[in-house]
Structure 1
Amino acid sequence: MALPTTTRAWSIDAINKDSFDSLVLKENVSLPNLGDHDVLVKIEAVSLNYRDLVIPKGLYPFSMKLPVVPGSDSSAIVLATGPKVTRVAKGDRVCTLFNELHHTNPITAEAVASGLGGAVDGTLREYAVFGDHALVKAPSSLNAIEASTLTCAPLTAWNALYGLKPVKAGDWVLTQGTGGVSLSGIQFAAAAGATVVATTSTKEKAEELKKLGATHVINYRETTNWGEAARALTPGGVGFDHILEIGGPGSLEQSLKAIKLEGVITIIGFLAPSEKQPPLMDALSHVCVVRGVFVGSRQQFEEMNRAIDSAKIRPVVDSNIFSFDDIKKAYQYQWDQKHYGKVVIKVAN
């Protein structure tokens, strides 16, 4: 069977704040010839992140270019490799690395500027050529749909819990909401033997979070001062070892109320903007680390995948799987917050 030389690919050519009509499907996009360290892959599935939704609306605060092929997360099958490729082989299932040049920590400015689907062409295409440095082997225990969710949200959660001060048995971890990072954070923390307290807005979601491994769930709509309420659950009321801060300015004040002395608040999201936010010096008065992360490195990705196989962790995937031609519907579905778990687009038939 001849290898493909062209692909169908979605593209964002311009900004449109009012809809996702800036997403355009292009036919017969040429694929580059394989270099010594290149890998030709057939994309199996792509999962969406909040980042993917704000890029076509012009709301993404990090490096990006236009036009760009959107999407960072994917699972794919290796079809062919360049002569000097050793990390993957034909037939392997692989996942894409969010920042192609982020191989080990600490992250560099060059790596920050190599984000798939923003700064460089991403994964919403049927075939692609990537450098072997930008791919990792997928966990053998996961199928293509599940593996497509790992690139951004789970790896971010892994970096939050293991990147600076590794979570351990007996620790207390606080997560926020039911987004992909929080769901993975619950799974990873519970697998490590930590006690997890989660926040959400509905009783139905609370039950789902407990199934994933959360011991306590606080409804933040009913308990607006949820930071102190969460802290009161910890032994002696001392607070949390780790907090995955998803909301940003709108919830950081509550996270500071809940953090333990020498605890780590990892700032991940900007979902809850607010004109009022705690001053930076609050980190001193609470004697804690406030840390920003930008997904994670290839080394961490490989470590996470080994842990997923070992602990038999299965990512949470929304029940609606979208087709490659229904990208705009998938984007709108997640934008309308109708999902629970990762929204996935099945690319390969």
Structure 2
Amino acid sequence: MSWPKTYSAFKRSGGAIPQTLQASEESLPAELGAHEVLIKIHAVSLNFRDAGMLHGRYPVPILDGGVPCSDCAAEVVGKGSSVQGFEVGDRVAVIPDVANLTGSDATQASSPGSDRPGVLREYAIFDDTLLVHLPKHMSWEEGASLACAGVTAWASLGSVSSVPEGASALFQGTGGVSMCALLISLGAGIQPIITSSSDEKLKAIQALDPRIKTINYKTHPNQAEEVKRITNGRGVNFVINNTGPASIIDDIELLCSRGGSVALVGFLEGWKAEWDPSAIMGIMGKNARLQGIAMGSKKDFEAMNRFLEDKKIHFTPIIDRVFPFKETRAAFEYLYAGKHTGKVVIKMPGDGK
């Protein structure tokens, strides 16, 4: 096996906020460790956290001057002598939390693109335990959209296990997690409801499938009333909260009478909340669950990929825009400005097949 001696990457500038992205040339070793896998990265997708780190808006440990991004679709081009389960030519992704293999690991979260080098580069080396096989029917761009947003959506929907008849879900906003959750919901028979302040975005989303319901929260500020109307008075089984703690009490109100769940996955509107702490007791009356979701485990990722492959679900409809690698800075600016609906992808140099 042979591979290039050098490759191109982008790194955070480090230092004062806001930081910038700087092009870099990096070196590859001549040999791999026993359990190391060398991957050629074909596509990378962006999450809010990737841009948020540059602006000091994502409070996690960050490797100074590190390579950003956690989500990629790649091809195995080299492997160590003891690697099991992967062969040259396999299509793979990196798990978004390398310390979370089973969901019960007693280790602190650690993610490519934050406290360790990420995937915004042509080549990378990872331990074989940190990779998963991609669904065979997906393109590189689709595969790159799975790791962070997809696994978070999957975990937020309870891994779509034991979905009750007539189940429904509400997703805040039109970012990556919400759009991934929308497609997973359709595949699992869950009625999706998605919110936005843009009629244009909602119209485009509704055109994907007639089962999708939408709410413009600017023109319909009483979301609970709209949800009751859409669900014939039942309320939803799942709420995916991308905005933060301020709306938690409203989210609980949207839930069905028994057994619903609110997944707190983001904080786009900040960390503060002004509701009375006693209001949280509404979750008890509904026998509901409030759960923080910090992506998911390798086990979750593998289960989601099996589901997507079995249902032949494509993520192409939720890829908003694809930027070439040389326009990486523009891709970050586009996402940070909130211009996207769904996933923003960077296509790496090469044939892209």
Q: TM-score, normalised by structure 2?
A: 0.90
Q: Residues 41, 173 of structure 1: CA spacing in aligned structure 2 closer, same or farther, 3 A cutoff?
A: same
| Counterpart mapping for 1:107-146 below 5 A | 107-110=105-108, 112=109, 114-146=110-142
Instruction: Tell me the residue number matched to 1:210.
Output: 206
Aligned residues: 344
Once the two structures are superposed, what CA deviation does each residue of 1:276-295 show, in whole Å capped at 9, x if it has no partner? 34355433223221100111
Instruction: Tell me the residue number matched to 2:270.
Output: 273
CA distance in 1 between partners of 2:4 and 2:241 (Å): 43
Once the two structures are superposed, what CA deviation does each residue of 1:289-321 show, in whole Å capped at 9, x if it has no partner? 110011111111111111111222111444532
Relative to structure 2, which stretch is displaced further, 25-34 or 265-274?
25-34
Q: Secondary structure at the match of 2:125?
A: strand
Relative to structure 2, which stretch is displaced further, 336-345 or 77-86?
336-345
Q: Secondary structure at the match of 1:314?
A: coil
CA distance in 1 between partners of 2:161 and 2:105 (Å): 17
| Counterpart mapping for 1:241-252 below 5 A | 241-252=237-248
Instruction: Tell me the residue number matched to 1:81.
Output: 79
- One-letter amino acid of the structure 1 residue matched with residue 222 of structure 2: N
Q: Secondary structure at the match of 2:2?
A: coil
8 Å CA contact 1:16–1:56 kept in 2: the answer is: no
CA distance in 2 between partners of 1:126 and 1:344 (Å): 14
Q: Residues 272, 165 of structure 1: CA spacing in aligned structure 2 closer, same or farther, 3 A cutoff?
A: farther
Q: Secondary structure at the match of 2:85?
A: coil
Instruction: Tell me the residue number matched to 2:195.
Output: 199
Once the two structures are superposed, what CA deviation does each residue of 1:106-159 show, in whole Å capped at 9, x if it has no partner? 35433x1x2110011010111110011111111101011111111111110001
8 Å CA contact 1:40–1:129 kept in 2: the answer is: yes
Q: Which residue among 255, 262, 270 is the counterpart of 2:259? A: 262
Instruction: Tell me the residue number matched to 2:51.
Output: 53
Once the two structures are superposed, what CA deviation does each residue of 1:193-239 show, in whole Å capped at 9, x if it has no partner? 1222221222222233324444421110011121332134324x232
8 Å CA contact 2:174–2:342 kept in 1: the answer is: yes
CA distance in 1 between partners of 2:227 and 2:30 (Å): 53
Q: Which residue among 173, 179, 186 is the counterpart of 1:177? A: 173
Q: Residues 279, 139 of structure 1: CA spacing in aligned structure 2 closer, same or farther, 3 A cutoff?
A: farther
CA distance in 1 between partners of 2:208 and 2:128 (Å): 34
- One-letter amino acid of the structure 2 residue matched with residue 220 of structure 1: Y
Say yes or no: does 1:322 pair with 2:323: yes
Give the Å deviation of 1:4. 2.3
Q: Secondary structure at the match of 2:260?
A: strand
CA distance in 1 between partners of 2:21 and 2:30 (Å): 23
8 Å CA contact 1:15–1:57 kept in 2: the answer is: no
Q: Which residue among 157, 161, 170 is the counterpart of 2:157? A: 161
Q: Residues 29, 317 of structure 1: CA spacing in aligned structure 2 closer, same or farther, 3 A cutoff?
A: farther
8 Å CA contact 2:52–2:336 kept in 1: the answer is: no
- One-letter amino acid of the structure 2 residue matched with residue 233 of structure 1: I
Aligned-residue sequence identity (percent) comes to 32
Instruction: Tell me the residue number matched to 2:66.
Output: 68
Q: Secondary structure at the match of 1:186?
A: helix
Give the Å deviation of 1:249. 2.7
Instruction: Tell me the residue number matched to 1:313.
Output: 313
- One-letter amino acid of the structure 2 residue matched with residue 262 of structure 1: G
- One-letter amino acid of the structure 2 residue matched with residue 305 of structure 1: N
CA distance in 2 between partners of 1:274 and 1:297 (Å): 25
CA distance in 2 between partners of 1:93 and 1:5 (Å): 22
Could you list the runs of 5+ residues in structure 2 that have no partner in the other structure? none
Q: Secondary structure at the match of 1:286?
A: helix
- One-letter amino acid of the structure 1 residue matched with residue 291 of structure 2: R
Give the Å deviation of 1:15. 4.3
CA distance in 2 between partners of 1:225 and 1:35 (Å): 57
CA distance in 2 between partners of 1:285 and 1:319 (Å): 37
CA distance in 1 between partners of 2:192 and 2:160 (Å): 19
- One-letter amino acid of the structure 2 residue matched with residue 70 of structure 1: P
- One-letter amino acid of the structure 1 residue matched with residue 333 of structure 2: Q
Give the Å deviation of 1:168. 4.2
Q: Which residue among 225, 232, 247 is the counterpart of 2:222? A: 225
Say yes or no: does 1:302 pair with 2:302: yes
CA distance in 2 between partners of 1:84 and 1:14 (Å): 36
CA distance in 2 between partners of 1:317 and 1:194 (Å): 18
Q: Secondary structure at the match of 2:304?
A: helix
CA distance in 2 between partners of 1:227 and 1:156 (Å): 24
Task: State the superposition RMSD in angstroms.
Answer: 2.1
Instruction: Tell me the residue number matched to 1:239.
Output: 235
CA distance in 2 between partners of 1:121 and 1:279 (Å): 41
